[in-house]
Structure 1
Amino acid sequence: MRKYHSHTLLYLHETIALGSGRSDQFTKAFDEVYHPMMSDLGARLFTIWESTPYNGHWPQVTIIWEIDAFADYARIGKAQARGGTHADAATTWATYLADTGATGEGRIMYAAPQNKNLAELKAADFKAGLVIQEIMQTKPGRQDDYIKELERLYVPWSESTGKRWLGSFTTTFRFNEVIHYWALDGDWECFENHYPSWKDQPPAEIVTWMRLAPALRDGWEDSILQALPPSPLQ
């Protein structure tokens, strides 16, 4: 049975392929229509990134909203449905997406216990202008185990090489998926300063992680994302 996490807020994760649109056009429509509607309904913009062309699907935008509980999710869904208080704005946004041939995928996510929420990240002046996104397929029911071992073995080494752990998220209606985000120190300069991450032999903790991780996961896909202007973490 899927574990319920009482410690966390909820996060709405949207991946939108832009079709014939450009990211600047998308951002304009987002600022004029979608962001005001979601803010009015109590959703906080956690981040908005676009994919970069050399590692990942492009052109594509990733949006994450922070909400307090499933009651907020229900309120958003009701307000955007036909006859809802925000149905007109929702239709305007959907029409823009349809006109540009955009398609997407949505997820509802729990934050890992170690994650900081948006207010805490802003208070700490945490920057996420350029990130690595990893969408992991774990063994069924091993989402929390994967994050626990990641924190123990991988996070300390990763942060020593300029990749700071923004957080990990588990999808609420899928019991075999975890999404990690790593913010790169200095944005693009991180690749110049820290890559390859090890030159000869990997350190002992990474060797251990490489042996353990395959027992917890079936595969993953990573991409490099950069912040768009509305993002609060840049």
Structure 2
Amino acid sequence: MLEVLIQKRLDHFELDVSFQAHNEIIVLAGASGAGKTSILQAIAGLAVPDSGTITLNGKIFFDGKKNLLPARFRNIGYLFQDYALFPHMTVERNIHYGIHKQATETTGSIIEQLLKVLGISHLLDKYPHQISGGEKQRVALARALATQPDLLLLDEPLSALDEETRLECQEELLRLHELWKIPFIIVTHSRSEAEKLGDRVLHLKKGLLVNETRGTMKETLGN
């Protein structure tokens, strides 16, 4: 379980949020500049809160005092909005980046599973500039999950895609979550996307959680 209680002074307001996440999809929704990405960065260790606590499955990431676990030790997958693929590396090398020191037989089978589920086995020899936006998104997802993270953070992962590809990738996210059964935290501006993907949708306004709803489409499906 992820437990987040953080305060941080941003440019125009105070970020002050508290929530928990089990093995579910949490969507952070709200206008641009509401503090959504700042929450992801604090959880990932890319930004330091002014006070509060962050723990995952009992492991302390931040306790508001001197304990601050470096990002590389948090075992978190982070999918950036621009996917952050290395342009000089092939798809295969991008996916394997960051796991060479901890590679096991299990890692190899997990990567094979990801390639199959995401349908990107045929792209391994390609470079990022040779593949489409939807394919880049799938490669970035494979790279984030190949390290077997305990938590996956996704910052506007589908915003640059056309509508058809976006819908396909939403289905893939739901399928991957069902397979991995770890907390996913997704930032989106799309109301329909939030309702489709989120078990819970946390609505932010100027750094505060002002409302929480359930994803209506998941309610319809009985989840």
Tell me the TM-score normalized by structure 2.
0.30
TM-score (norm 1): 0.29
Whichever of the two has the greater Rg, that structure is 1
